Amino acid sequence: MSQYLLRKLLLMIPGFLGISLLAFAFIHLVPGDPVSNMTGVYNAAPEEYSRLRQVLGLDKSLPEQYFRYLGQLLQGDFGTSLTTGQTVLAEFLVLLPATLELSLLALFLAVAIGLPAGMLAAVKHRRPADYAITGLALAGNSMPIFWWGLLLVGFFSLKLGIAPVAGRLSFLFDIEPRTGFMLIDTWISTEPYAREAFFDALHHLALPALVLATVPTALFALITRSAMLEVLSADYIRAARSFGLGRLRIIAVNALRNALIPVVAVLGLQVSVFFTGALLTETIFSWPGIAKWLLEAVSRRDYMTVQGGLVLIASLALVLNTLFDLLFAWVNPRVRR
């Protein structure tokens, strides 16, 4: 396991280099340059324009610019926002808890709903429950997130008025941010209305998390169903039945343990799906996370924020994928061998 861990850690090095190179190339393919698109510099004097290009290193060749940028990344410098003057890393770390909170709850919902649904569909194979779950899963897996989110907002928020439209907390509550995770901050708060604020934060989080969890839930249900069907027809399951083991024990212990292997493999692949879905979900619900922050930076043409944000988000996805690979290797020893 230690050798497998070492190989995965070493593979992160070329992965990070590829991320930095792609982000650098993507920004330089955009028409114009950061100086000409900065607010207030449209009518700048040529001397000021040249000075700003020199400060940003844009007067050097592309290879020199890239290695200069790579050196800054290795030192933890992901750039400075052209509009706010704050470092990109500082803004990213402030907004990251909001996205993680939304993604973790969506992941919890996807596993809590998709896994039992897939098991039930496999146990009730070729019965009405199987057809219903499979049909709903296929529909959810092909559901456009932006359309589904707007549909739920229109129904639950505008028509029924039971779900908040935007934000993480009502203006009625003033909670001191300690961790950045609103559920944790409201729970540990000493304010007299802390419990009401906690349920209000959960109320704001429920609908965006449900929208973000739709596609992963459907995918987990389909994969769990397929894996369970394969496992339930295996010889050792038949042998367990012949020994008189209970049906519930066979399904929950013997079959589920091996059926989880492909589910864990797909779980790691869903990291990028959560980030992609978060971009649309945070935009629809005005959720103050890193996806909405990056989209606003694109609209402002804040090239430094976009470049640093892309590297940070891709690096985070790389780390999470590596962790899920290690988890998959721990669950399935054949991968380590």
Contact 130, 232 (CB under 8 A): no
- pLDDT of residue 314 exceeding 70: yes
Q: What is the pLDDT of residues 268-301, one digit of tens each?
A: 777 767 777 777 788 888 888 888 888 888 877 7
When mean pLDDT is compared across 55-64, 120-129, 207-216, the lowest value belongs to 55-64
Mean pLDDT across 5-23 = 83
Contact 307, 72 (CB under 8 A): no
Q: What is the pLDDT of residues 165-193, one digit of tens each?
A: 778 888 888 888 888 888 888 888 888 88
Mean pLDDT across 98-120 = 89
Instruction: Give the model's pLDDT for residue 47.
Output: 67
Q: What is the pLDDT of residues 37-75, one digit of tens each?
A: 554 445 556 666 677 777 666 677 778 888 888 888 888
SS (H, E, C) the chain: CHHHHHHHHHHHHHHHHHHHHHHHHHHHHCCCCHHHHCCCCCCCCHHHHHHHHHHCCCCCCHHHHHHHHHHHHHCCCCCECCCCCCEHHHHHHHHHHHHHHHHHHHHHHHHHHHHHHHHHHHHCCCCHHHHHHHHHHHHHHCCCHHHHHHHHHHHHHHHCCCCCCCCCCCCCCCCCCCCCCHHHHHHHCCCCCHHHHHHHHHHHHHHHHHHHHHHHHHHHHHHHHHHHHHHHCCHHHHHHHHCCCCHHHHHHHHHHHHHHHHHHHHHHHHHHHHHHHHHHHHHHCCCCCHHHHHHHHHHHCCHHHHHHHHHHHHHHHHHHHHHHHHHHHHHCHHHHC
Q: To 5 degrees, how large is the angle CA 220–CA 166–CA 151?
A: 55
- pLDDT of residue 158 exceeding 70: yes
Instruction: Give the model's pLDDT for residue 327.
Output: 75
Contact 306, 297 (CB under 8 A): yes
Instruction: Give the model's pLDDT for residue 39.
Output: 45
Distance of alpha carbon 81 from alpha carbon 79, whole angstroms: 7
- The model's confidence at residue 303, banded by pLDDT at 50, 70 and 90, is confident
- Which are the contacts of 250, defined by CB distance < 8 A and separation ≥ 6? 237, 240, 241
Mean pLDDT across 101-107 = 88
- The model's confidence at residue 318, banded by pLDDT at 50, 70 and 90, is confident
Distance of alpha carbon 55 from alpha carbon 73, whole angstroms: 17
For the ranges 26-35, 72-81, 274-283, the maximum mean pLDDT occurs at 72-81
Instruction: Give the model's pLDDT for residue 132.
Output: 92
Give me the chain's average pLDDT, please: 81
Mean pLDDT across 208-221 = 89
Q: What is the pLDDT of residues 237-276, one digit of tens each?
A: 777 777 666 667 777 666 777 777 777 777 777 776 777 7
Instruction: Give the model's pLDDT for residue 113.
Output: 92
- The model's confidence at residue 160, banded by pLDDT at 50, 70 and 90, is confident
Residue 121 CA from chain centroid, whole number: 27
Mean pLDDT across 19-36 = 75
Mean pLDDT across 294-321 = 84
- The model's confidence at residue 310, banded by pLDDT at 50, 70 and 90, is confident
Distance of alpha carbon 275 from alpha carbon 174, whole angstroms: 29
